[in-house]
Amino acid sequence: MFVDHVQVHVKAGDGGNGIVAFRREKFVPNGGPAGGDGGRGADIVFEVDEGLRTLMDFRYQRHFKGQRGENGRTAKQHGKSRDANVVRVPPGTTVMDAETGDLIADLTLHGQTAIIARAGRGGRGNARFATATNPAPEIAENGEPGQEKTIDLELKLLADAGLVGFPSVGKSTFLSIVSSAKPKVADYHFTTIVPNLGVVETDDQRSFVLADLPGLIEGAHAGVGLGHQFLRHIERTRVIIHVVDMGGLEGRDPYEDYVTINEELKAYNLRLTERPQIVVANKMDLPNAEAHLELFREQVGEEVDIYPLSAVTKEGITAVLRAAADKIEETPEFPLAEEDLDERVLYTYTKQDAPFEIEKDDDGVFSISGNEIERIFHMTDFNRHDSIQRFAKRMRQLGIDEALRERGAEDGDTVRIFSYEFEFVE
């Protein structure tokens, strides 16, 4: 089964906890702090494996979780950090954040890797918090939570040229003739329901990869027919081979077909109009095909390259393949994501999210949220008084106390972080 779009959930490993421990040594307060740091958790890493062709494996495993880092040990021993959890993906896979729609990675080359979710660092042990005024601290951090996100995986085939056109115009027949691919060929619409790839060699020993995509119809960009499901595969191609039926057996007008398909490509992705196009006038062995071709040439103009072809008699195939190879050689690859940064820019400012947000719930409780305060909260060991005092100090440093007063918080009001509640004290 060919699978080219899945949604999965990834969770990188949390960092291991730091610990509070003391060594037993004469003349050292409390024996001296000796709590070690926790180890780093496991990243979720995607790696390209050229032996894979679909995203089928993700149908059966949709959750990937990294291992948690080992907790710190006594005698200032650090906990063990975990190796990355490596997930294999086929070449041509794009990884998108399902919530924001941002592109996380575009994986095309064998062995290429990308960190999809970063693991949390290990918490620090109490040996890290020793100072001249507090030589025996009872403070240790919990491990930092690893990133957790839902992602969309899309497979966009790595082909140099792609065949597009209405159903039953002869795309699959053409691919089966010029390559060793064996696509399904029949005299009804939508015989091709999955993309097919074939390696094509011209008579002058040049080769390229050709993709046969399911037939498009009007409205394909909006999900009509099979087009919306497979239009993504045309995004990577450098050259579009547009196959038009000149026989007119089904009563369709070749020029209307040509215009409709181009409008669908434009509506799906405006950048597809940048691809050079080779127009193949197929089924020239049928009656009236020559008359239709003459009229078609007048309608599209001289600037459009048109190559007559009969997939049945194999006439015109050499010219089409040579033209496609020429276009591929002179056309650069098209990146899927726009490069917005000027190469001369050495530093760019990235706006950071606010460290916290405060909202007053219907029950009168002040709820605090935000990436920074939530990270600090998770890394605080609330079983130890010193750690609680440190957390309160961090809240004041972030300006949460002052922000609560501005929102009308008074002595004795309840403050909530996640499901935990605290009392606001002036």
> What DSSP designation does 166 have?
S
**193 marked among binding-site residues:** yes
The CB density around residue 147, as the number of other CB atoms within 10 Å, is 19
**165 marked among binding-site residues:** yes
**279 marked among binding-site residues:** no
| Alpha-carbon dihedral 23, 13, 415, 395, rounded to 10 degrees | 60
**168 marked among binding-site residues:** yes
**28 marked among binding-site residues:** no
**289 marked among binding-site residues:** no
The answer to whether 153 touches 104, Cβ cutoff 8 Å, is no
3-class secondary structure, 73 = coil
**312 marked among binding-site residues:** yes
Residue that the structure tokens 């959890």 belong to: 85
**215 marked among binding-site residues:** yes
**282 marked among binding-site residues:** yes
**151 marked among binding-site residues:** no
**272 marked among binding-site residues:** no
Closest by CA position to 214, among listed 232, 191, 198: 191
**149 marked among binding-site residues:** no
**212 marked among binding-site residues:** yes
**196 marked among binding-site residues:** no
**313 marked among binding-site residues:** no
**224 marked among binding-site residues:** no
The beta strand positions in 192-276, using DSSP E, are 196-201, 207-212, 239-245
CA-based torsion, 12, 17, 18, 23: positive or negative: negative
Closest by CA position to 192, among listed 209, 169, 208: 169
C-alpha–C-alpha distance, residues 145 and 376, integer Å: 10
Taking CA atoms, 13 is separated from 66, 145, 245, 347, in Å, by 4, 7, 55, 31
**170 marked among binding-site residues:** yes
**310 marked among binding-site residues:** yes
Backbone angles phi, psi at 297, to 5 degrees: -60, -40
**301 marked among binding-site residues:** no
**16 marked among binding-site residues:** no
Residue 82: partners with Cβ closer than 8 Å, 6 or more residues away: 13, 39, 40, 41, 42, 66, 67, 68, 69, 70, 119
**31 marked among binding-site residues:** no
**113 marked among binding-site residues:** no
Residue numbers in the known binding site for Mg(2+) are 172, 192
Q: Binding-site residues for GTP, please?
A: 165-172, 190-194, 212-215, 282-285, 310-312
Binding-site members are 165-172, 190-194, 212-215, 282-285, 310-312
